Amino acid sequence: MLAVGAYLALATRLSGPWLSLIVTAVVLFGVGRLLFFRGYRRDHRGAKGRAFGMTLTMWPTLVGYLLAIALIIIPS
């Protein structure tokens, strides 16, 4: 899974209270997957029914990778 790579990269670069960003990303990912599955099972509108869950799954991972890349390029 792509999300695991983002979380591992962030775990190597973040410290202290900033590590809570990983927990937040994991929770958002989990909620997004549940909503995606719910939309897949209950909503017969096709992709529109799954869009919010997919978005909630994708954004924390994308932001995690971008933050990890920025922290690698710009050392503290």
Residue 39 within any structural domain of the chain: yes
At residue 53, what are phi and psi to the nearest 5 degrees? -65, -40
Nearest to 19 by CA among 28, 29, 8, 30: 8
Q: What is the pLDDT of residue 47?
A: 80
| Number of folded domains that form the chain | 1
pLDDT digit of tens for each residue in the chain (76 aa)? Answer: 889 999 999 999 999 999 999 999 999 999 999 999 888 777 777 788 888 889 999 999 999 999 999 999 997 6
Residues 6 or more apart whose CB falls under 8 angstroms from that of 59 comprise 28
Residue 40 within any structural domain of the chain: yes
| Residue span of the structural domain in which 64 resides | 19-73
Q: What is the pLDDT of residue 1?
A: 80
Residue 3 within any structural domain of the chain: no
CB 10 within 8 A of CB 67: yes
Residue 26 within any structural domain of the chain: yes
- Provide the whole-model pTM: 0.84
Q: What is the pLDDT of residue 76?
A: 67
Residue 14 within any structural domain of the chain: no
Residue 66 within any structural domain of the chain: yes
Residue 7 within any structural domain of the chain: no
